[in-house]
Structure formats: structure tokens, C-alpha cells
Structure 1
């Protein structure tokens, strides 16, 4: 290869390196942006949990768990929305600006300043008590949120109540409660994570400790996404650079297309292995 051809090959490889580096930064930013937003949602919830812990410090754990249950669902919904890049957010009525502890809807879904969903939450050990509370007329049309491990039993009881007296008083209320029964807050493809009764009670024994765990988990998720993306784009960048260099050599007649393909594939494999190891350190 002449000096001029070597210079041209170096220019091709250098351009590929810059393009691959830019692509790597873009991919890493896109992949981790949602996780970073989810971490911010988590951090924003800390003050609410601190206020909750103070306000309900003297209550029994079951009552405190009911209040924290609402915050848990709002947080996991908002984390999911942030990761998806969606604008909708769950707001706990009690802790909203100018909010109320006695609002019919415990949670609101808000998108662009408009309320797009309402949910009443009931965290109770009694299946019959839960069903009875959920059928109240002023909850009509709202989601009825219950513990993850209670939803099937409550649904079954509501179904039996409807079958026992299809023409009885309160039929419409029971039917509406069953139609809106859920173990998560949902909007389109975004949903909160179900919370079982025992877990809600355990978290409520020390709400601030639970919150610290959520912050650690969110930060770890963001770091893991960055590490995985870094490994993948690092391998892609090296493969692109190597491929560009091999293309220049093919054009100069120094190697065959088959040999160049093997070389580029090997470089990609080495890049993935090295970056993956560094990410795991």
C-alpha cells in the first residue's frame, strides 16, 4: 500500500471512530435517560414519606400501611412512566398541593394538567370488609385498588354477591366495584407494581427505611442500565472502527473480504467481553 493509500485508510478509520463514538454517546444517553428520570421520581418521593412517617407515627401499623400503600403505588407507577418517557403521573390526593385526606379518590392520574384517572385504595385484611367498602356509590367509575394477594378473593366475593340477588338493591354498585377492581394503577401500557398485604405492613413499620431501599434500588437500576449500554456500544464502536479499517485494506488489495469479516467479528467479540468485564467491576 502506498503512503497516499495508507493516509486514506487512516482517514476512513478516523472518521468511523468519530461516528461510532458519537453513536455510542447517543445510545447510552437514550438508554439511561428513562432510568435517570425514574431515579429523580424516587428522590422526589422521599419528602412525602418523611411527612407520612411523622403524621402517622402514633397510629397502628395497619392504618399507617394503608397510607403508605397509596404512596407505594404512586411511586412505582411514576417510575414506570418515567422509564417509558410518558408524561402521565400518579398523585396521592393527600400529599398533593392543596390536597385532602378525605377525598373520594386516593390517587389521581394527571397528564398535562388534566386528570385522566381516579383510584380508591383499600388495604384491608378482611375480604368481606374490602368488598363492602369498595361498593360505595361515591367511588363509582374509579379504579378500586386492593392488595395483590387479595384481589382474586375480593373478585370472587363480589361475583357471588352479584349472583345471589341479580335484582337486589345495590346491584349496580357491586357490579361497578367488580368492573374496576385492580391490584395496580394502570394507564395504557403503564402500571404500578402490585403490593401484597404482608409486604405493605412490613414496609409501614419503618416507612423511611423502606424509602431508602427504593432510592438504592432506583440508583442501582440506573447504574446497571448504563453499564450494560456501555458494554454494548463499546463493542459496536470497536467493530465499526475495525470494519472501516478492513474496508480500506480490501480496497488496497491487502486482504480478502472473507478475512476482513472474520477480523471485524473477532474485534466485536473482544470489545463486548472487555467492556462487559469493566462494567461488572
Structure 2
């Protein structure tokens, strides 16, 4: 299989800002971003005369990096796993996985409030029952790993337009929807009600309305199909994976090239230096 991502290169070139060199004979320091004279050290590194930082000038050109990013981004939108994308594009798996992590985090930060985003990183994982630490505090499901961090409960909302929102919930929000017997209660009389909750790798449906019920089951089947194709997901990154699946589900009718262009619009201008150059070869 050949991945042709040439259509994405103009969009990436418009996004990226020059950080390596300009029209003069001097290079731009990647740390301070100022054009100045660089001293050459004995080990081949360069030293900025202004900030004093030492660095190496990579032989990989900016054009090659943009080509790599475009191909990996297209594989991401085609829903290939990082391992499969590395096989198709012949890029290092470590580089592909690094880009995939940044794409997921980018989609999460774009579609989550700072409070919800903080919940993903600060959840303590204390969800076991008071008198039975082998069962979940909320859904009473048996836990496979005791004593390890667990992701928070995620609420699933279905919009009338067909869109879906999957957000992490704090303990106070979860307590409003789960009763003492571990069943999820339906939130009635409010458009803020949840169609279901994702807890302990299970989907707990909370609505009996036929249209909403069918949409919820269709969504969960769609998620399970993609998670199974990847042989599961990391628990510590559950929120980022779910936000990725949420975005892909809401944009599933859009061509992968257009999906990639939408992601490019979210990317920072200095992604080449902020994302890639920090990777250790």
C-alpha cells in the first residue's frame, strides 16, 4: 500500500514557521530563535553566541519532516494503528507513535475544557468499593488490576444531529447517576442527560428511548470494533483514545484528506521543533 499525502504538504507549509534558517548565511538558533553567529565545537555541535545553548544541526531537512508528518497524519485519519502505519510508510515506529500521541492530545485539548483536561491527568484511580476493593465503586464490576490507577468514568452524550460527546466525570458527577446498587440511572427532563457511561471498559446504557438507545448501541459497537482492531488501548491514555474516537465518529462522513486538514488547523506553528526534535534517536 502506498500513502500519497502530497495534498497535505501545502497546508503544513503554511502552518509551520521557519526555525532553522533564513535568507542570510547565519542559522537561527532553535532555542532562542534569533539569527546570530554560531560557534562550531570540537564534537560537531554548534553553540549560540547569544543564549549559549549547544545543539546539533540535523541532516534531515524541514521538507523531509513535513513529508513524514503528512504521511503519518493521513494514516492516523485512515484509522491505521501506529504499528500498521510504520509498516506502510517505512518510518520508525517510535516516530509514528510520537506523532499519534501528539495528535490525540491535540484533539483532546481542543475539545475539552481545562477542568476536564485536568481530570484526565489527576484522577487518583480510587474507584474500588469501600468493603470490596476487587470491585468497582460505581458499576460494581470486578476489577482485573487492584491497586493500579484507573481511568475516570466517561459520560456519553448523543446530540439530535447525530454527534457524540465523551467527557470524563469527577466523582460528584458520577454519584448523581449511579445508585447504591451499581446501576446507572437515567437523567430525565434535561438535555444535559447522558445516554450512557463508560466505566471499567463497559458501556452502561441509561436510556430506554428507542432512537437514542439504537444510536448508543451503534456508537459502542463502532468503538469496540476499532479498539479490538488495535488489540486494546493503554489505560493511562484512555481519555485521549476516547476523545480521538469521538472526533473520528463525528467526522466519519468526511474524507480522510479533509480530516487531516482539519487537524492541521489545530496544530501549533512550531510543531516540528516542539514535537519532533525532542525525540531521542
- The TM-score normalised by the length of structure 1 is 0.26
Give the alignment's TM-score, normalised by structure 2: 0.26
From the CA coordinates, give the structure whose radius of gyration is larger: 1
